[in-house]
């Protein structure tokens, strides 16, 4: 696949990347990567078992609550009361 300046600028805009001044080297690298992808598309995979059904087993989630964590956090607060941070009022009604 041929990469031209228009396509390269569009890719830069979509990826929100700033491209270097020397775009020619970048275009050659992208064309090389796309060439490798074309090589992969030409492979004959007939008869090869798909791995898409394979998955890593998930561990069982075990809820954990350490009751000392809130107190250890609140002891560093300038002001706390009944398990809550006390902060100055910032919104006027």
Domain range summary for the chain, segments of one domain joined by +: 5-41
State the pLDDT confidence band at 3, using cuts at 50, 70 and 90: confident
Q: What is the pLDDT of residue 53?
A: 65
Q: pLDDT tens, 42-79?
A: 988 888 887 776 677 888 999 988 989 999 999 999 99
Q: What is the pLDDT of residue 80?
A: 94
Q: Which residues pair with 80 in a beta bridge?
A: 85
Q: What is the pLDDT of residue 47?
A: 87
Residue 81's φ and ψ, nearest 5 degrees, are -150, 130
Q: pLDDT tens, 39-51?
A: 998 988 888 887 7
- Contact call for residues 12 and 19 (beta carbons, < 8 A): yes
Q: What share of the chain is helix, strand, coil (3-state, %, to 5)?
A: 40, 5, 55
């Amino acid at each position: 696949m041929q990469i031209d300046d228009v396509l390269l600028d569009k890719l830069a805009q979509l990826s929100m990347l700033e491209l270097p001044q020397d775009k020619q080297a970048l275009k050659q690298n992208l064309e090389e990567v796309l060439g490798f992808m074309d090589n992969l598309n030409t492979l004959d995979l007939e008869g090869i078992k798909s791995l898409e059904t394979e998955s890593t087993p998930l561990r069982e989630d075990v809820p954990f609550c350490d009751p000392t964590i809130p107190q250890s956090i609140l002891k560093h607060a300038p002001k706390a009361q009944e398990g809550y941070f006390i902060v100055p009022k910032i919104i006027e009604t």
